[in-house]
């Protein structure tokens, strides 16, 4: 009933047993659950019957009320560096894997977040509140739709059961889906507790399953080459992930090593945020007073986290300290290359130009966005209104007139864009816009079209104030605003005519929204 005929329940991770995974039952909530979101597309993709999941029995499984038939749910132990400080034991404190499904080569784990305490809950309640569960559900699907690697969300259920945070809130459970929930912190745990044999076993299992191209049959006798190749892969994947986050203004908020995926996925959505007005120093978590996880710092922290992972790997690759160092040293350049490539596409730059030339223009643009406090999403989206044909003519030696006519014409086109980000009443803004256009004309690609730009610059973003409105409505039982937001973010490049209000810049009140870690 649950699974489509082409999908199988498997126990590949569960079979590892202790000390990797511990059998933990979910703790049912007291009140009947309400299914708020079900991801039909994802259900189908992994081989689940969404018709069944909508029935009372299905909902009961998605909240942890009823165990998955023939599967003993599990939780795992890890540790990590939180805000730079080593914490020797963490773990799945409120996340329980309820099944593993294999459909051909596609392998997925299903995990309930908020389904009760585990041996790793550290005196916390094992629950999640509706507010943070909505935020996780929306962002997972938003990033996925933006083409950014992430864990995904299958369902969101809630009950009126009280959960005590700064105030009393409603309980909720998100069922999330991923090929793995392993984190840097898992490696750190087995390394720092001196369980090196176990660490090797876990990594062998992981690499064989997810990187069969890197795995070799003599891994047990000679694991070092495979481990180095794998670390290199992960370092590159993390560099790319950081560039992708930066390109859409996504701030994770809590980039502790226990929130960094071994598959280079975005994982553990807490006090994240998408930039509204471009602010390079933006932090989305108000308890991050040192700005450790600011927008600007994310790539640097990704690199720092890889250092923590590398030192955890040291006992396994002892003689190869230098090789690890070389891989780490490549990270900044890899990040820069990915970052430039993405921003060059976002602005329709001529890709054949020298790298320094692109870097310079991208940095200038970001600085300009910061100084003018422009809405990031709307700025990039509005570029599709510009016309890059005839660029050659304006650089002809004929003089300033042609150029200033071109700028006037482009400015006219730009103003017509529904996402025009500049304030026309502000002379210095108009001047900045004209200067930007002039510089853009020197580096833009004549082949760029508005249509192409609209496929890389999203319009439907999970802005904080929209989440806030969706949460407030959901808490009163009205799912309409959440449904609309989901429609906007799951097709982020399509401008839906009836969702115009969701594409506006954030209202002033949103600037003061504070998102806390407690969730
Ligand atoms: P985070 O920084 O939100 O990813 O959480 C850090 C650690 O605290 C993880 O090991 C979580 O499993 C655990 N944790 C957070 N909230 C709870 C909770 N309400 N109950 C149990 N464990 C929790
Ligand atoms: Mg976490």
Residues contacting 351, CB < 8 A, separation 6+: 344, 358, 445
When pLDDT is averaged across residues 493-507 and rounded to a whole number, the result is: 97
| Mutation choice for ligand 1 from 64, 76, 93, CB with most ligand atoms inside 8 A | 93
Q: Contact, 142 vs 119, CB < 8 A?
A: no
Please state whether beta strands 21-23 and 8-10 pair in parallel, antiparallel, or not at all (unpaired). Answer: unpaired
Q: What is the 3-state secondary structure (H, E, C) of 190-212?
A: HHHCCCHHHHHHHHHHHHHHHCC
Please state whether beta strands 85-91 and 250-251 pair in parallel, antiparallel, or not at all (unpaired). Answer: unpaired
Alpha carbon distance 250, 248 (integer Å) = 6
Question: Tokens at residue 448, please?
Answer: 């760029």
Q: Contact, 292 vs 220, CB < 8 A?
A: no
Supply the pTM of this predicted model: 0.97
Which atom of ligand 1 is found nearest the CA of 268?
Answer: 4
Radius of gyration, CA atoms only, the chain: 24
Which atom of ligand 1 is found nearest the CA of 126?
Answer: 20
The pocket around ligand 1, CB under 6 angstroms, is made up of 90-94, 121, 124-127, 254, 256, 259, 268, 270
List 103's β-bridge partners, or say none: 106
Q: Which residue, chain included where needed, has tokens 């993709």?
A: 45
420-474 pLDDT, tens digit per residue, is 999 999 999 999 999 999 999 999 999 999 999 999 999 999 999 999 999 999 9
Which bin fits 21, alpha (ψ -120 to 50), beta or left (φ > 0)?
A: beta
Q: Contact, 312 vs 260, CB < 8 A?
A: no
How far, in Å, from the CA of 26 to the mean position of ligand 2? 18
When pLDDT is averaged across residues 134-153 and rounded to a whole number, the result is: 98
| Mutation choice for ligand 1 from 124, 170, 293, CB with most ligand atoms inside 8 A | 124
Catalytic residue among 92, 258, 375, 445: 258
pLDDT above 90 for 60: yes
pLDDT above 90 for 157: yes
When pLDDT is averaged across residues 331-350 and rounded to a whole number, the result is: 97
Is residue 125 among the annotated active site residues?
A: no
If DSSP codes are grouped into helix, strand and coil, which group holds residue 106? strand
């Amino acid at each position: 009933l649950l699974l489509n005929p082409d999908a199988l329940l498997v126990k590949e991770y569960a079979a590892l047993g202790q000390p990797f995974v511990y059998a933990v039952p979910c703790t049912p909530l007291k009140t009947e659950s309400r299914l708020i979101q079900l991801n039909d597309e994802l259900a189908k993709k992994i081989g689940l019957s969404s018709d069944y999941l909508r029935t009372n029995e299905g909902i009961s499984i998605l909240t942890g009320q009823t165990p998955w038939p023939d599967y003993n749910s599990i939780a795992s132990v890890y540790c990590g560096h939180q805000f730079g400080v080593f914490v020797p034991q963490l773990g799945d404190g409120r996340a329980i894997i309820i099944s593993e499904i294999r459909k051909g080569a596609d392998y997925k784990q299903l995990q309930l977040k908020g389904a009760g305490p585990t041996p790793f809950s550290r005196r916390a309640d094992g629950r999640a509140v509706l507010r943070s569960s909505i935020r996780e559900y929306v962002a997972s699907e938003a990033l996925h739709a933006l083409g950014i690697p992430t864990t995904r969300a299958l369902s969101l259920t809630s009950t009126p059961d009280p959960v005590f945070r700064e105030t009393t809130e409603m309980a909720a459970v998100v069922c999330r889906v991923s090929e793995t929930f392993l984190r840097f912190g898992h490696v750190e745990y087995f390394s720092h507790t001196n369980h090196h044999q176990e660490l090797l076993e876990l990594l062998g299992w992981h690499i064989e399953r997810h990187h069969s191209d890197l795995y070799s049959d003599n891994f047990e006798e000679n694991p070092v080459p495979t481990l180095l190749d794998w670390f290199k892969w992960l370092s590159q994947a993390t560099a790319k992930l950081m560039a992708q986050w930066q390109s859409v203004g996504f701030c994770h908020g809590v980039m502790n090593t226990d929130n960094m995926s071994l598959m280079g996925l975005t994982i553990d959505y807490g006090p994240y945020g998408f930039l509204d007005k471009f602010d390079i120093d933006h932090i989305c978590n108000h308890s991050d007073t040192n700005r450790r996880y600011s927008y600007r710092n994310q790539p640097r922290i990704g690199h720092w986290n890889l250092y923590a992972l590398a030192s955890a790997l040291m006992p396994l690759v002892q003689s190869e300290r230098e090789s690890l160092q070389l891989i780490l040293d490549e990270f900044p350049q890899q990040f820069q290359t990915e970052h430039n490539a993405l921003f060059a596409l976002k602005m329709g730059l001529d890709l054949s130009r020298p790298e320094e030339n692109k870097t310079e223009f991208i940095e200038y643009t970001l600085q300009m966005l910061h100084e003018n406090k422009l809405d990031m999403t709307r700025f990039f989206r509005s570029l599709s209104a510009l016309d890059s044909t005839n660029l050659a003519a304006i650089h002809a030696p004929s003089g300033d007139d042609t150029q200033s006519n071109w700028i006037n014409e482009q400015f006219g086109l730009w103003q017509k864009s529904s996402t025009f980000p500049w304030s026309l009443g502000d002379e210095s803004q108009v001047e900045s816009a004209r200067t930007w256009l002039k510089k853009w004309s020197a580096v833009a690609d004549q082949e760029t079209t508005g249509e192409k730009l609209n496929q890389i610059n999203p319009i439907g973003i999970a802005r904080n104030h929209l989440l806030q409105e969706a949460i407030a409505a959901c808490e009163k039982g009205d799912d309409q605003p959440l449904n609309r937001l989901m429609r906007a973010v799951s097709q982020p490049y399509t401008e839906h005519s009836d969702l115009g209000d969701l594409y506006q810049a954030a209202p002033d009140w949103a600037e003061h929204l504070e998102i806390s870690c407690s969730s």
